[in-house]
A and B are shown apart, each in its own frame.
Chain A
């Protein structure tokens, strides 16, 4: 079945860059997403990338997609303490009755040290 894997923890110093990695198994993925979840809150969509793109940049966020290796990464430049949260990678496919369903990874907890 479909599977999305992420490392569980990442710790960086304020001002450094953070890179959160994700691998997925289903090559028919059409959209790949990054969500941010702050403590006690719901999910906030950070950015997404279509599967026919290699890179997408949005202010401090850069998403890289390697379709051959089924590898997705999220780079946060100049990481701030407010970036501390859990980051979820997710994929969606379009097939049959499950169109639009998201498959999530377990999330990477990013800790930013002053």
Chain B
């Protein structure tokens, strides 16, 4: 099946620094990628939807200047947490959706990236 790779899996950074998380679709072209955030003991919260070559669409309450999303190619989307603070510590998960074929409705998830901000 389709594979989505996320990197890094774990990252620890100091407060005030920026962290970039990559999401790659390894064997299919992802026209749409989604970024989720998971708070402890809670479900996933959609942060933003990104389509290749266009600006990301952010959900209400998500700061676009804080969480920069770039979807420069059909196989790569990046999430940059700028000037990270301890409250940004969380589990970030991306998912990718192919554009055509039997898997059109299917989303494939990355393994997730755990960010800890000291």
- A: which residues have CB within 8 A of B? 30-31, 33, 35, 40-45, 48, 50, 88, 92, 97-102, 104-107
List chain A residues, Cβ under 8 A from B112.
41-43
Q: Are B107 and A45 in contact (CB under 8 A)?
A: yes
Q: In chain B, residues 87-111, which have Cβ atoms closer than 8 Å to a Cβ of chain A?
A: 93, 95, 97, 105-111
State A95–B29 Cα separation when bound (angstroms).
22
Given A88-B43, A106-B43, A100 contacting B108 (CB threshold 8 A) = no
Q: Which 4 A-B pairs have the closest CB atoms?
A: A42-B112, A42-B111, A43-B109, A104-B43
In the complex the two chains form, what is the Cα distance from A68 to B42 in whole Å? 28
Nearest chain A residue, comparing its CB with the CB of B45? A104
For residue B93, which residues in chain A have a CB less than 8 angstroms away from its CB? 42-43
Which residues on B sit within 8 Å (CB–CB) of A104?
43-44
Chain B residues in 8 Å Cβ range of A106: 42-43
Contact residues of B between 64 and 118, Cβ < 8 Å to A: 93, 95, 97, 105-112, 114
Shortest beta-carbon distance, B61 to chain A, in Å?
14
A44 touches B49 (CB 8 A): no
Are the CB atoms of B107 and A30 closer together than 8 Å? no
Q: Name the A residues within 8 Å of B32 (CB-CB).
A: 99-100
B34 touching A102, Cβ below 8 Å: yes
Q: Residue of A at shortest CB range from B10? A: A40
Asked if residues B109 and A35 are in contact (CB atoms below 8 Å), the reply is: yes
Closest to A104 in B: B43
